[in-house]
Chains A and B, each alone.
Chain A
Amino acid sequence: MHAALFGQLTIDGLLVGGVYALSALGLNVIFGVMRIVNLAHGEFVIGAALLAAVLFERLHASVLVVLPLAFVLAFGLGALIQRAFLRRLPTDLASAEATSLLMTFGLSYFFVGAWLAFFSGNFRSVPYLTGAWTLGPFSIAQARLLAFVASGIVAALLAMLLRYTALGRAIRATSQNLQGALACGVDVERVRTLSFALGTAIAAASGCLLILIFTVNPETGANVTLASFAVIALGGLGNYAGTLVGAAVIGLAISFTGYFATAQVAQAAPYVLFILVLLLRPAGLLGKSGA
């Protein structure tokens, strides 16, 4: 393969991977603390993406303006869902996992219906920064670079929150050892609510950036959920650093298969990787569950 082509496909893959990383980070925060596999995650991503598209169409609002608005709205929605539904899950872990899958599956269907009612079934995108910069032999799409950089900033803010604040330490402590967190007097119920809210808000942020790259409609949320699962399966459930590695691998897989095969094959690539990793390295590429 020509070196320039390899470089171009790598750049494109990493830029897309950055946005997937953000979506998967949100999913991983929720799983880490609550041990809930949130099947409605993609619906929060797509809801924010469609909101950004509609506000761009009607008011020419930049996604960078819509992003903080969507973040705050999704944070509130996430907190409400946790308090109203997920808090009522059974207390023993096995029953909680099964019930949470059914509950979030139901929520997923509810939100697909809600977005169809709000936004209609049309496919939408945000044609913002449609040009490209040339850097030697490489072409860098402005929208993809913006989405990548903004995702990086949100992910860095999340990392700082987790590392340097009392809430972040409480989230990590609850994620690593629930019994230890309870013994220390961590308010675990509050941490769960804030973690679900934060994970939902991060999903919304990633949706505002994803719409710069992809065309979506209310029914594409399941694809995003699956791609996010593929990312965290590669990186390891509950492993935040592994999420970035997983996202890079998924982004590169989409980019290379899209060029050498077809767009349909590229769409299937994350799921093929997902299945392969589950079969061959169930703890992820970094071999760590993070629990």
Chain B
Amino acid sequence: MSLLSVRNLNVSYGDFKALHGVSLEVDEGEIVVIVGANGAGKTTTMNSIAGILRARSGEILLSGEHIERKSPREIVERGLVLVPEGRHLFAEMTVQENLLVGGQTARSRRRLHVNVRTMEERFPILGRRRGQAAGTLSGGEQQMLAIARALMSEPRILLMDEPSIGLSPLLTAQIFAMIREVNQTGITVILVEQNVVQSLALATRAYVIAEGRVVLQGLAAEIRGHADVKRAYLGEA
């Protein structure tokens, strides 16, 4: 049984149908990347899985349990957390307060504070800036905080929507290294990325979405070599 199954998901914004029967399977321990052009439906897929958008129809199963009608909080409690596109930090709150909000669903206060310490050790720059307002951090530090905030709830699956957006190549490489480290701790990762080359190099499997439909799926290496992907996303003939 897959850790996450998305079956025939349909999502609309008013009269505009954004997703047409999207289906995905994600196994435990994988890094799965979703690629596609702007407006293809990648973020809509992520927000629907995280419960932030309500699907018109379709099923989402986490370890066999239906979550398509659960609230975002119930989904976080079940171990699936989204790092949203644009980070969506609480800009006027301190780094430490952002982490504490990320640990809202912790089982106890003690556990919450242990997790804050763990994050500050894992991301030392966040420890040094714990009293600083999140909005004053650099872009790379903000992305690091967004990831740390998501890890505060001890997820089994981390959904990351465009984590490298707006970052320099050096910082992007650091963020990708961080995603690999997170995955090596046993956390399954679903990644939406504009940086197709790097994300396919990192991922186990990949899905290509166009106009709200899955048009291609397979092992990341196979997708990387596919003629359509080369032409559409890698600028190769």
Contact = CB atoms under 8 A, between A and B. Distances in A.
Interface stretch (A114-122, A141-149, A180-188): A180-188
Contact of A183 (B77, B84, B97): B84
A264 interface: no
Interface of A: 166, 169-170, 172-173, 176-177, 179-189, 290
Contacts of B104: 166, 170, 184-187
B104 to A, nearest CB: 5
B192 to A, nearest CB: 14
B50 A183 contact: yes
Given A173-B101, A185-B72, A180 B52 contact: no
Interface string B72-110: 110111000111100111111100010011101100000
Given A184-B149, A185-B81, A179 B52 contact: yes
A188 B97 CA distance: 17
Interface of B: 50-52, 71-73, 75-77, 81-84, 87-93, 97, 100-102, 104-105, 149-150, 153
A185 B183 CA distance: 21
Given A169-B100, A169-B101, A170-B101, A183 B81 contact: yes
13 contacts: A173-B90, A176-B91, A177-B88, A177-B89, A179-B84, A181-B101, A183-B50, A183-B83, A184-B76, A184-B149, A185-B75, A185-B77, A187-B73
A175 B24 CA distance: 34
A179 B76 contact: no
Given A184-B153, A185-B81, 8 more contacts: A170-B101, A176-B90, A180-B87, A180-B88, A183-B52, A184-B104, A185-B77, A185-B104
A173 B101 CA distance: 7
A263 B86 CA distance: 52
A31 to B, nearest CB: 16
Nearest to B46: A183
Contacts of B76: 184-185
A173 B73 contact: no
A172 B149 CA distance: 16
Contacts of B87: 180
A248 to B, nearest CB: 22
A170 B105 CA distance: 12
Contact of A169 (B71, B97, B105): B97
Contacts of A181: 90, 101
Contacts of A173: 90, 93, 101
Specify which of A166, A177, A189 lies most central, judged by the most chain B CB atoms within 10 Å of its CB: A177
A180 B91 CA distance: 10
